[in-house]
């Protein structure tokens, strides 16, 4: 009787273990179903001539910080979400062409694109009057022309580091404000590529026409991009970082426009602020930044699962709301429009 009771308890224990294993396996498959592949993009990079491409601080460069934070993030993904495939678009210090970053993301059928950058702000300009000088000028003409003098101020001008600090996350969309400085800085690498025309065609990524075309694509992923961007900013705020909010880009950033998936660009801090530069270069700061992003991804996955459960199927809720099929290849639509444009221009 004792032996039989013991055998039954053993069977129950094995059953519970098997059930738990199957439940975990089922949960893992469920996670893999909503987010299978994430593209981690380290912004900028060292150019072929050895020069840095990103912003510069007092003693460091954006290129190096982006790569360091990306490496921390990739490792955290492998440790905490091993079921997700992680693809690095810039795995080394060398720069990856912007068109290639988008190609890598699309070729790997990414479910999420996370671009890591570091922000920069122009120095603050100051002016003060230090004195006056006599300036000669003339009035009248001919015989009536008279010489006069007046006192004009002498100015001293100088600059101080911009105190701007904090993190912000960008998504591609329509916004009332144009931040051309940021767009030019982030798109600069593509303009410097030798085969610019071959890789990108006759386009201006900041032109109203191209932005309008891109919006056809970004509308499909807008809600998801905006949602995860909000989660990222929430996590930054929790650890005491200055929350500069989620921002939309009207003037385009290529990697957000050309990736056919929910995409965010995280400006992790200001390299032009000495306090921020120290934080971004520290191991603690890099780990904390990566930790905030991966926590946001976990929250994002849970949010998608909830959306799917509520809708009763797999359909992307934002594509459903916008009457766009989640399986539709938007890049093909953009290509078709571009081809028509070439015909119209006689290319």
pLDDT band at 346 (very low <50, low <70, confident <90, very high): very low
Tokens found for residue 43 = 């912004």
So what's the pLDDT on residue 307? Answer: 84
Long-range contact list for 187-193, CB < 8 A, 24+ apart? 187/98, 187/252, 187/253, 187/254, 188/53, 189/44, 189/45, 189/53, 189/95, 189/97, 189/98, 190/97, 190/98, 190/99, 190/254, 192/47, 193/97, 193/98, 193/99
- Both structure tokens of 73: 């993030």
The DSSP bridge partners found for residue 85 are 37
Residue 288, helix vs strand vs coil:
helix
Sheet holding 243-249, edge to edge: 85-88, 37-42, 112-119, 263-270, 167-172, 243-249
SS3 24: helix
pLDDT in tens, 265-283: 999 999 999 999 999 999 9
Q: Which CATH class is domain 31-120+163-345?
A: alpha beta
pLDDT digits (tens, 9 = 90+) for 1-46: 444 443 433 443 444 444 444 444 444 444 447 899 999 999 999 9
Domain borders along the chain are 31-120+163-345, 124-160
Do the beta carbons of residue 253 and residue 170 sit within 8 Å? yes
pLDDT of 14 reads 41
How far apart CA 172 and CA 253 sit, in angstroms, is 8
Over the stretch 231-241, which tens digit does the pLDDT of each residue have? 999 999 999 99
Cα gap 311→282, rounded to integer Å:
44
Longest alpha-carbon distance in the chain: 134
> Cα separation of 336 and 328, whole Å?
14
């Amino acid at each position: 009787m004792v032996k039989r009771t013991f055998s039954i308890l053993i069977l129950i224990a094995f059953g519970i273990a098997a059930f738990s294993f199957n439940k975990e396996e089922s949960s893992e498959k469920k996670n893999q179903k909503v987010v299978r592949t994430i593209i981690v993009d380290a912004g900028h990079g060292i150019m072929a001539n050895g020069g840095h491409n990103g912003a510069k601080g007092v003693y460091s460069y954006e290129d190096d910080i982006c790569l360091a934070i990306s490496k921390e993030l990739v490792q955290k993904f492998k440790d905490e979400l091993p079921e997700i495939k992680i693809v690095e678009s810039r795995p080394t210090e060398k720069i990856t062409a912007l068109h290639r970053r988008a190609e890598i993301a699309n070729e790997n059928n990414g479910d999420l694109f996370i671009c890591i950058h570091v922000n920069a702000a122009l120095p603050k300009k100051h002016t003060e009057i230090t004195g006056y000088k006599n300036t000669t000028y003339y009035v009248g003409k001919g015989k009536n022309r008279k010489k006069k003098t007046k006192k004009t101020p002498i100015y001293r001008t100088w600059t101080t580091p911009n105190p701007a600090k904090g993190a912000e996350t960008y998504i591609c969309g329509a916004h009332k404000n144009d931040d051309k400085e940021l767009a030019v800085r982030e798109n600069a690498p593509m303009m410097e590529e030798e085969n610019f025309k071959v890789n990108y065609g006759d386009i201006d990524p900041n032109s109203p026409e191209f932005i309008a075309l891109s919006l056809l694509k970004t509308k499909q992923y807008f809600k998801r991009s905006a949602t995860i961007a909000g989660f990222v900013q929430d996590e930054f705020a929790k650890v005491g970082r200055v929350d500069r909010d989620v921002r939309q880009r009207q003037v385009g950033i290529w990697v957000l426009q050309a990736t056919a998936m929910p995409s965010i660009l995280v400006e992790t801090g200001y390299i032009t602020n000495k306090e921020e530069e120290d934080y971004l270069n520290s191991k603690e700061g890099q780990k904390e930044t990566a930790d905030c992003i991966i926590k946001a991804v976990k929250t994002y996955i849970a949010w998608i699962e909830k959306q799917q459960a509520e809708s009763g199927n797999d359909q992307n809720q934002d594509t459903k709301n916008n009457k766009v099929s989640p399986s539709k290849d938007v890049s093909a639509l953009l290509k078709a429009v571009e081809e028509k444009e070439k015909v119209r221009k006689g290319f």
